[in-house]
Chain A
């Protein structure tokens, strides 16, 4: 079909403009060079569904990497994200997807993630939790600039960062550390919901 259309355009050159427009629409679905969705990585969500990282494209995302058996800072990261969810919700910005990606490929399978989500009372209509193999975890951490190391005991030492990613997959803000101060991050997040992505 498309080939016939192409030939028709070459021969008649009349519908060139609308063809270009269609072509542009198709190209808009491709992530830009600055988008983290350039990564071809796949994960499993808490329901065990295979999900590509790229499938997060299309809405702004608030993302962090953590793991379920983390005793130290991860609970704070999750709480910070829930506070953001509540603050942004109050300001009418409720199109965000909240994503938690586990470092722990070995122990944090979908069932573990599901039960963690339930025990933390995460609203799964907004939240999604990802399990990835070591390569997927490594690539995502690399593209985000997160440092991490698996210890001999199977724990993870890691940076504490929450990311604000726009609907095209470009990182727009970072919240580093555990402080509850989030004014600038929230302002940038709200500004994102007001800008239409191309």
Chain B
């Protein structure tokens, strides 16, 4: 794991604030993130297999449907067997939020919050252009790195690898972003579908790369599994 120092970053999600004329405006405001530790890279199949051996209730033949959809660990040959040993060092995908969280908790850790993950990606503004470019390149060819092994992309300034270009990642509070269905309606309907107009988040469409990530997160439900969605763990610094 890598120790990430405390700091601030400006999240993608805009905040609603009252301006001097008492009118609601959507603004970007920095968010503080406390010091924490983050997995250097994504959890691999090798690591997930150890977890499955210890916790049979998370094997694909046994998992409760409410915790993982029917595609859970789809590309594994069977409960404890991969299709090839070459797969062992690839990031584990086709895992639900519940399964990812259970893995991290098994190791005394947790899933990173969206703020922690985005703060790690933002890397204190280092190599901004390269990061932006790499993200957009990856999004335009999303399956180009599907076979990548964990640790295949260079570490950023914090020492974290594979935040871009390998797999999308679960966060602890992926369901905090109230975009999508709830945001599509006009303001009166908005209040009806969703409580909390005072600090309702909104997305800045000019940052396409971030928009993709946040949109993706809002499309997820906790039991979903997909071929390019994996995770890594985090830990609060004591």
**Interface pair B194/A160, CB less than 8 Å apart:** yes
Name the residue of chain B whose CB is nearest to the CB of A66.
B195
B64 touches A33 (CB 8 A): yes
The verdict on A83 contacting chain B, using a C-beta distance below 8 Å, is no
A8 CB within 8 Å of chain B = no
Q: Does A124 contact B (CB under 8 A)?
A: no
Which of B173, B194, B196 gathers the greatest number of chain A CB atoms within 10 Å?
A: B196
Chain A residues 116-157 with CB under 8 Å of chain B are 138, 141-143, 145-149, 151-153, 155-157
Contact B195 A138 (CB under 8 A): no
User: Looking at chain A, what size class is its interface with the partner chain?
Assistant: 20 to 34
Q: Which residues from B are CB-within-8-Å of A178?
A: 192
Knowing A151-B196, A157-B200, say if A146 contacts B175 (CB, 8 Å): yes
Q: Is B8 an interface residue (CB 8 A)?
A: no
Asked if B178 and A159 sit within 8 Å, CB to CB, the answer is yes
B198 to chain A, nearest CB (A): 7
Which chain B residues (183-238) contact chain A, with CB distance < 8 Å?
Answer: 189, 191-201, 218, 221-223
Give the bracket for the number of chain B residues in contact with chain A: 20 to 34
Whether B195 contacts A72 by the Cβ 8 Å rule is yes
- B175 touching A147, Cβ below 8 Å: yes
Contact mask for chain A residues 154-195; partner B; CB cutoff 8 A; 1 contact, 0 none = 011111100000000000000011110000000000000000
* B172 CB-CB contact with A under 8 Å: yes
In Å, the complex CA distance between A112 and B173 comes to: 26
A38–B66 CB distance below 8 A: yes
* B residues less than 8 Å from A70 (CB atoms): 195
Whether B199 lies near A152 (C-beta < 8 A) is yes
Q: When chains A and B are docked, how far (Å) is the Cα of A179 from the Cα of B192?
A: 8
Q: Is the CB of A148 within 8 A of B65?
A: no
Q: Collect the chain A residues with CB atoms within 8 Å of residue B222's CB.
A: 142-143, 145
The verdict on A95 contacting chain B, using a C-beta distance below 8 Å, is: no
11 A-B pairs besides A33-B64, A155-B198, A158-B178 with CB distance below 8 A are: A35-B66, A38-B64, A73-B192, A143-B66, A143-B222, A143-B223, A147-B177, A149-B176, A151-B198, A158-B196, A160-B195
